[in-house]
Amino acid sequence: MKRRRFFALITWISISFLAVVGCSQLTSNTPANQATQSPNTQSQAAQLTVSAAASMQDAMKAVGQAYQQEHSNTKITYNFGSSGTLAQQIQQGAPADIFISANEKFMDELDKKDLLLPGTRKDLLKNDVVLIVPNKANAPNISDFQQLTSSNIKRFSIGDPESVPAGRYAKEVLTNAKIYDRLKSKTVFAKDVRQVLSYVELGNVDAGIVYATDAKISDKVKVVATAPENTHKPIVYPVGAIKRTQNPEAAKEFIQFLKSDRATDAFKKYGFQIAN
């Protein structure tokens, strides 16, 4: 009797074990579980740091929002500043996946030092240089760059030509007009083009030279003159991915998006011209 009970118990344990194994195999082969394990069904999250010229702040924030609507798993972080400062930061190893410069000089520097991901450099945008004054009734009555030498202009601002592309273009315009040296005593050099804009908005200076796109976003300044194209080098904004990026494919995809119709429409809204 005891032997019968023992064999019955062994038989029950064996059947239970086989049932559990069978269910486990069935579960592992279900389509739902296969989808969970498949690397192709799980989009990889990525984070991109974009170092961009200060003049691009508003436009890039709008473009970034549009991009993330289509790529919700990609987080965009911006670092805005003068192109020269940003290029220097990148050369010193600061985190950056993408660089957008307000001139070719600083992108060329990174290119020569082999810091760009091959095949990712592209000309993105173009801009104009304009002369602005405060949008006030008592603003200086000037209408061209030559009038910056007049006695009613006490203080005048441009970006530092050594690190700020807008300042470099401004220097070219003023040098071409043969008045740069005459203005030095009343020139206030700013850390970036947005600081020039702020100085004029607040009335800290009587006039300043900024990009057309900077003047467009402020109702506190008015444009009194636009520099002719032949008075300065072409204003081109190149973009490129940084070679040491941890997300090269995401960086390439973002740069490709910058050339899309949706992005170019946003850039145009903020006054930028599209580079060929």
Binding residues: 55, 83, 166, 193, 211
Pick the closest to residue 258 from 120, 142, 54, 156 (CA basis).
120
Residue type, 196: V
Parallel, antiparallel, or unpaired: how do β-strands 221-226 and 129-134 relate? Answer: antiparallel
Q: In terms of Cα–Cα distance, which of 191, 243, 198, 238 is closest to 221? A: 198
CB of 102 closer than 8 Å to CB of 166: yes
Which residues have a Cβ under 8 Å from the Cβ of 35 and sit 6 or more positions away? Answer: 41
Q: How far apart are CA 12 and CA 225, in angstroms?
A: 95
Please provide the distance, in angstroms rounded to a whole number, between the alpha carbons at the two ends of the chain. 95
d(CA 92, CA 221): 37
* Structure tokens that stand for 256 in this block: 């490709």
- Residues making up the annotated binding site for molybdate are 55, 83, 166, 193, 211
CB neighbours (10 Å) of residue 212?
20
Question: Which residue is listed with tokens 């700020």?
Answer: 164
CA–CA–CA angle 160, 164, 165 (5° rounding): 125
